[in-house]
Structure 1
Amino acid sequence: MPTPSLKSHYSAVVIGGGQAGLSASYYLKSHGIDHVVFEKKTVAHKWKNERWDAFCLVTPNWQCQLPDHPYDGTDPHGFMVKDEILAYVDRFVKKVDAPIFEQTGVTSLEKHGGLFRLETSAGAVTADAVVIATSLYADPAIPRAGERLPEDITQIHTAAYRNADQLPDGGVIVVGSGQSGCQIAEDLHLAGRKVHLVTGNAPRCARFYRGRDVVDWLSDIGQYDITVEHGGMTKKKHDTNHYLTGRDGGRDIDLRKFALEGIALYGRMSGVAAGRMLFEPNLKANLDGADRVYNGINALIDRHIAEKGIEAPAGSPYVPVWEPEAEIAELDLKAEGITSVIWATGFSPDWSFVGLPIFDGNAYPVHRRGVTAVDGVYVLGLPWLWTWGSGRFLSVGRDAEHVVGHLAARHSAQTSSLKQSVSA
């Protein structure tokens, strides 16, 4: 898209050109507020450049609810694959037609008098308000232990993984059992590779239960509308997502079944030494914890069905199909023929450019539904910004509407005050 001319001042600046930043731009346009969007790479970069070939949605298509851009395909209960997701996002990009500067990073955001000053790679600007929509997924997080792996072992992060063919022949260790780690482990396994999966405390969820997609049940129950301020939900913003998949029409991911099929499972990685990867003795605890969440979600659905008198196929708790015989403490990488390590260890946010007092002791933004304590500064696109769907296609639009609504009211008040001072 053509790059607009950079002005010296804007009523609002949006930092980040992903789904959150574009949603903010959509609502800023609807309020008639002049603004600019700065994106340090390209629009929707992560969808286009940090997803593997077999990637697909893990939530059904009907949950794609970007502003004025709901899913309009023929399979609302299916799961779009990578090319379909990119087409959906591209249509949204064209619809919003945001005033965006791509390949333009923001290097500094500070308060100067009554305005905010932003230094960018395209020049400096000032703004009355700023929306930080950079999410938590700026940079791949790779443990320092990777520096102690033998030099002949290929190491990549999930952001760089595309398919099994890009890796050298031999065994592969996937470190991390969140959504990406489990799906990539399955992708490698289906490609005929010997896979070793290092587990963590990620929970799991059934794909289908009692005749329907679990997401449909949870939506009916109201789980996606529960706010982060609901009792016990505050900690959720740091939780790992449940693992399941939409691949081939959707199915459970059961690590115990993986083990029966030949995938080797281990407890959490504790380090690397002398050509060996070391593990904590918590594989059983990790598997049991994931299953406990799985059965807890299904029990919630059981209660809903009973309370509403809904006719549905019978359900039953999950019973483990495999148990580890022993906890493996270490793995000799060369002896096991391992040639590659894939780090499914998540991402780190980059708020280093923000010179404003909006963070808590853990360097996490303090806000209420995206509104920070610094007047005129907002955050958007974070998991559990307000509800379970925040940061996703489902609810990022609703969050953007709220944030921009607050910004617009502030803008209107400032404009009115300025007019009154001028007339006086």
Structure 2
Amino acid sequence: MTTTVIPVVVIGGGQAGLSVSWYLGRAGIDHVVLEAATPAHAWFDTRWDNFTLVTPNWHCRLPGYAYDGPDPDGFMTRDEVVDWLAGWLRTFDPPVRTHSRVSRLANHPGGGFELTVQTATGTQTVICDHAVVATGGYPLPITPPWARSLDPSVHQLHSEQYRNADQLPDGAVLVVGSGQSGAQIAEDLHLSGRTVHLAVGGAPRVARTYRGRDCMTWLHEMGLYDRPAAQYPGGQAAIEKTNHYVTGRDGGRDVDLRQFALEGMQLYGTLTDGKDHTLRFAPTLTAALDHADAVYNSICADIDAHIEREGIPAPPASRYEPVWHPETETSTLDLRAAGVTSVLWAIGYRPDYRWIEASAFDGSGRPMQTRGITTVPGLSFVGLPWMHTWGSGRFLGIDRDARHIADAIIVDHKTFHSVTASAS
């Protein structure tokens, strides 16, 4: 086992970890980025073929680099995002060690941290003063424990494994979950001609465009993406809710589950349990659709107030009116009778920091941090949803968050060397 000593280790080579590296490199701080696969691999490996951003292209900003293409108000496809990130990586030379998975982070007896790193050639030890965890907020896909009791002939996969309709067996598909991924994958399957059944959860929705502009452009202008999490209306309960569903596909549009129902998609309430070929649903569909529409209209009303307050010329206000209502709440589904051959789980992810041996987590396993910095000296996080603002975890907020983390490390590094120099 080899041992390496280095001042700073960034764990994770996605856009957040590489952004911290960008600032550390400019400051001349010796560091390394340990990446379990290859830089920004998640964009290629875990997005479906027809994936598009749901935020406008002008949101795409990373240190020293911003989208400057011909369609700032459009939405890049997965492949375009990969190319854009590759262009950013060509602007600097981050010290990345690929295929280096950190399996353990613990306090080092001499101070700082000791990391156990698994590589293709064996196990290595890395000792550092600062560790920046940039592995993403929720790496483990969730499936319900009773999923294993469904008939083995039913093909099951998580949303992160979905690529396109052709990878699934012939037949209808049940998508479970209506957050951003679930709603967009249901749309993708629907547009491909598949019969789709969708178990609708509690996710809200938002208009794609309203009164002449993209809603996310309005919200940015209103300061919503810059407001610290602690000051956000509704508090912790509000920021922990699922993100609003909308799509950037074909230039961007609303995702209207009621319209899908008119076109033949079968909608249900929350999926509660199942066995063999029988699934059961709670009678929550009507309430879920009404709630999503209420949020949609509430956001439009907030934009109306902003327009009036600022005296901005804009087209007239409007409100969404439902185009379909469920006549009854279906409580069960016989997969075999309905011809459903695949179940796609899109019910989210959960955190997994079991490899970190430090008192930096709350009772639910989430990092206790302020703008990414924990009370454990030298340990910080970056790239978490709502780490500081609504923009955290998105391209729009990564630069600011990474700069804050890097600045704290740079100040600590310079202070240490200044004290050491004075002592000698």
Q: Which of residues 85, 88, 91 in structure 1 aligns to 2:84?
A: 88
Structure 1 residue 7 displacement after superposition: 6.7
> How far apart, in 2, do the equivalents of 1:340 and 1:383 lie?
30
Which residue is equivalent to 1:167?
168
> How far apart, in 2, do the equivalents of 1:385 and 1:356 lie?
19
Structure 1 residue 239 displacement after superposition: 2.1
TM-score by length of 2: 0.96
The residue correspondences of 1:311-390 to structure 2 (distance < 5 A) are 311-390=313-392
Which residue is equivalent to 1:397?
399
Which residue is equivalent to 1:9?
5
> How far apart, in 2, do the equivalents of 1:14 and 1:377 lie?
10
Classify the secondary structure of the residue corresponding to 1:322: coil
Structure 1 residue 19 displacement after superposition: 0.8
Which residue is equivalent to 2:220?
219
Structure 1 residue 237 displacement after superposition: 4.2
> How far apart, in 2, do the equivalents of 1:7 and 1:35 lie?
15
1:411 aligns with 2:413: yes
Which residue is equivalent to 2:117?
120
Q: Which of residues 49, 52, 57 in structure 2 aligns to 1:53?
A: 49
Structure 1 residue 94 displacement after superposition: 2.6
> How far apart, in 2, do the equivalents of 1:333 and 1:304 lie?
48
Alpha carbon RMSD of aligned pairs, Å? 1.2
Classify the secondary structure of the residue corresponding to 1:415: helix
Classify the secondary structure of the residue corresponding to 1:97: coil
Deviations, residues 370-389 of structure 1 (Å, cap 9, x unaligned) = 01011111010001111111
Q: Which of residues 241, 244, 249 in structure 1 aligns to 2:243?
A: 241
Q: For the Cα contact (< 8 Å) 1:224–1:389, is it kept in 2?
A: yes
Which residue is equivalent to 1:3?
none
Q: Which of residues 1, 17, 39 in structure 2 aligns to 1:43?
A: 39
Which residue is equivalent to 2:96?
100
User: What amino acid does structure 2 have at the position aligned with 1:35?
Assistant: H
The percent of aligned pairs where both chains have the same amino acid is 50
1:74 aligns with 2:75: no
Q: For the Cα contact (< 8 Å) 2:112–2:378, is it kept in 1?
A: no
Classify the secondary structure of the residue corresponding to 1:327: coil
Classify the secondary structure of the residue corresponding to 1:306: helix
Structure 1 residue 156 displacement after superposition: 1.1
> How far apart, in 1, do the equivalents of 2:62 and 2:235 lie?
24
Which residue is equivalent to 1:148?
149
Give the gaps of 5 or more residues in structure 1.
1-5
> How far apart, in 2, do the equivalents of 1:400 and 1:237 lie?
21
Deviations, residues 294-326 of structure 1 (Å, cap 9, x unaligned) = 111000000011111111111122111111111
Stretch moving more, 61-70 or 305-314: 305-314
Classify the secondary structure of the residue corresponding to 1:394: helix
Instruction: List 4+ stretches of structure 1 deviating above 4 A.
Output: none
> How far apart, in 1, do the equivalents of 2:417 and 2:273 lie?
57
Classify the secondary structure of the residue corresponding to 2:229: coil
Stretch moving more, 132-141 or 370-379: 132-141
> How far apart, in 2, do the equivalents of 1:193 and 1:21 lie?
39
> How far apart, in 2, do the equivalents of 1:135 and 1:357 lie?
19
> How far apart, in 2, do the equivalents of 1:305 and 1:337 lie?
49
Classify the secondary structure of the residue corresponding to 1:225: coil
> How far apart, in 2, do the equivalents of 1:404 and 1:235 lie?
30
Deviations, residues 155-211 of structure 1 (Å, cap 9, x unaligned) = 111111111111111100000101111111111111111000011111100001011
User: What amino acid does structure 1 have at the position aligned with 2:147?
Assistant: G
Stretch moving more, 360-369 or 233-242: 233-242
Give the gaps of 5 or more residues in structure 2.
none
User: What amino acid does structure 2 have at the position aligned with 1:346?
Assistant: G
Structure 1 residue 336 displacement after superposition: 0.3
Structure 1 residue 420 displacement after superposition: 2.0
Deviations, residues 362-417 of structure 1 (Å, cap 9, x unaligned) = 11100100010111110100011111111111111110000110111111111111
Classify the secondary structure of the residue corresponding to 2:301: helix
User: What amino acid does structure 2 have at the position aligned with 1:170?
Assistant: G
Structure 1 residue 354 displacement after superposition: 0.3
Which residue is equivalent to 1:305?
307
Structure 1 residue 14 displacement after superposition: 0.5
> How far apart, in 1, do the equivalents of 2:136 and 2:168 lie?
29
Q: How many residues are aligned here?
A: 417
Q: For the Cα contact (< 8 Å) 1:17–1:39, is it kept in 2?
A: yes
> How far apart, in 2, do the equivalents of 1:164 and 1:363 lie?
35
